[in-house]
Amino acid sequence: MVFRVVESAYLNLTTEQNLLQEVAMGEKLNLQVIVEAYPGLQVFNWTYLGPFSNDKSKLNFATIEDTYRYTSTLYLPRLKPDEAGRYSFWARNARGEDALTFNLTLQYPPEVRVAWNPINGSGALLCDASGYPQPDVTWVQCSGHTDRCDEAQALVFEDPHPEILSQKPFHKVTVRSLLVMGTLEHNRTYECRAHNSAGNSSQAFSHISVGTSIQPPEEPLFTPVLVACVSVMVLLLLLLMLLLYKYKQKPKYRVRWKIIESYEGNNYTFIDPTQLPYNEKWEFPRNNLQFGKTLGAGAFGKVVEATAFGLGKEDAVLKVAVKMLKSTAHTDEKEALMSELKIMSHLGQHENIVNLLGACTHGGPVLVITEYCCYGDLLNFLRRKAEAMLGPSLSPGQDPGYKNIHLEKKYVRRDSGFSSQGVDTYVEMRPVSTSSNDSFSEQDLDKDGWPLELQDLLHFSSQVAQGMAFLASKNCIHRDVAARNVLLTSGRVAKIGDFGLARDIMNDSNYIVKGNARLPVKWMAPESIFDCVYTVQSDVWSYGILLWEIFSLGLNPYPGILVNSKFYKLVKDGYQMAQPAFAPKNIYSIMQACWALEPTDRPTFQQICSLLQEQAQEDSRERGYTNLPSGSSSGGGSSSEPEEESSTLPGPGSGTAIMSQMAAKSSGCSAQSRHPELEGGDTCGWPHQASSMHFPKLTHHN
The catalytic site residues sit at: 480
- CA pair distance 368, 605, nearest whole angstrom: 28
Contact 38, 68 (CB under 8 A): yes
Contact 369, 320 (CB under 8 A): yes
254 among the known binding-site residues? no
684 among the known binding-site residues? no
298 among the known binding-site residues? yes
498 among the known binding-site residues? yes
What is the sign, positive or negative, of the torsion defined by CA atoms of 639, 645, 648, 650?
negative
Q: Judging by DSSP bridges, how do beta strands 188-196 and 173-181 pair with one another?
A: unpaired
485 among the known binding-site residues? yes
377 among the known binding-site residues? yes
- CA pair distance 390, 404, nearest whole angstrom: 11
CB neighbour class for 399 (10 Å; exposed up to 12, middle 13-18, buried from 19): exposed
Contact 668, 610 (CB under 8 A): no
Q: Please report the DSSP string for 589-620 in residue order.
A: HHHHHHT-SSGGGSPPHHHHHHHHHHHHHHHH
What is the 3 state secondary structure string of 284-306?
A: CCHHHEEEEEEEEECCCEEEEEE
User: Which of 200, 198, 168 has its CA nearest to residue 26?
Assistant: 198
376 among the known binding-site residues? yes
517 among the known binding-site residues? no
Instruction: Spell out the residues 6+ positions from residue 553 whose beta carbon is closer than 8 angstroms to its own.
Output: 382, 383, 385, 386, 389, 452, 581, 582
108 among the known binding-site residues? no
- CA pair distance 60, 46, nearest whole angstrom: 9
- CA pair distance 318, 687, nearest whole angstrom: 6
295 among the known binding-site residues? yes
Q: Judging by DSSP bridges, how do beta strands 493-496 and 69-76 pair with one another?
A: unpaired
300 among the known binding-site residues? yes
390 among the known binding-site residues? no
Beta bridge partners of 314: none
H-helix segments, 323-388: 331-347, 378-385
26 among the known binding-site residues? no
User: Which of 96, 74, 65, 58 has its CA nearest to residue 15?
Assistant: 74
- CA pair distance 15, 23, nearest whole angstrom: 18
Question: Binding site for ATP: what residues are annotated?
Answer: 295-303, 323, 371-377, 484
Question: Binding site for Mg(2+): what residues are annotated?
Answer: 268, 485, 498
Question: Binding site: what residues are annotated?
Answer: 268, 295-303, 323, 371-377, 484-485, 498
